[in-house]
Copies of this chain bind each other. A is one copy, B any other.
Amino acid sequence: MHVGRLALLASVPCGPALRRLRGTARACVADDAAYMRLALTQAHAAFAEGEVPIGAVLVREGKVIGVGRNRVERDCDASAHAELLCLRSSAAALGAWRLEGTTLYCSVEPCPMCAAAIRAFRVERLVYGTANPRLGAFESGMATANPFAPCLTVESGVLAEQASELMRVFFLRARGRRPYAERANEADSHLDPAYGSVQQRLRRAVRRFTRWAWL
């Protein structure tokens, strides 16, 4: 598990104010798995609805403010990602779009859109489960989010196996429905207009399949 600023925070000597913060931070870390389990419940619900199984939960001071799960197909909205829906419903519940002092739990590493939204909503801590090797904004394929999120504490790897397994099963099932080349084409076409012949796309799909568990 990668631990960001919190680890540093726990190792420095500090006054009463910092000690209080350290206490809160420790409590948060201890509860991470519990909140991640809630996010995974949302991911399972998305799976049951035929959506890419990703879930998110927003927490402030030990209280769940909002939850969200991927609903792109159901809402007919490409921005209806778990994180964005969770943030929007949380802001509506609190009556404020600045969600300072909150921690967002996501079952999968957020994409660049969600990463930017996390900063726009002023979330202070992000905990995610498994990495998203192709579309992840923090450590993976599109790791472009860091320059615009310097104040965000990011941790990863909490219950990663469960989230990863859910994604793997979902994509294996989705793959079973359509020919492999067609899916490779679809996945690549919006990234590269010259995505090549069927053979090239097949090669790329196989390469991807052997490199990563579910993408």
A interface residues, Cβ below 8 angstroms from B: 72-73, 76-79, 84, 87-88, 91-92, 95-98, 111-113, 116-117, 119-122, 142, 144-145, 147-148, 150-151, 190-193
- Contact indicator B116/A98 (Cβ below 8 Å): no
CB-based contact A151/B113 at 8 Å: no
Which residues from B are CB-within-8-Å of A191?
A: 150-151
Total copies of the chain: 2
A112-B116, A116-B112, A151-B190 in contact; A77/B92 too (CB < 8 A)?
yes
* Known pairs A97-B76, A117-B79; A147 contacts B150 (CB<8 A): no
Q: Mostly helix, strand, loop or mixed at chain A's interface?
A: loop
Contact of A144 among B95, B148, B151 (CB under 8 A): B148
Chain B residue nearest to A5 in the complex (CB): B193
Bound-state CA distance A75–B121 (Å) is: 13
Chain B nearest CB from A182 CB (Å) reads 15
Q: Which of A77, A122, A150, A191 has the most CB of B within 10 A?
A: A77
Complex Cα distance A87/B77, Å?
8
Report which of B79, B144, B150, B192 forms a contact with A88, defined as CB distance below 8 A: B79
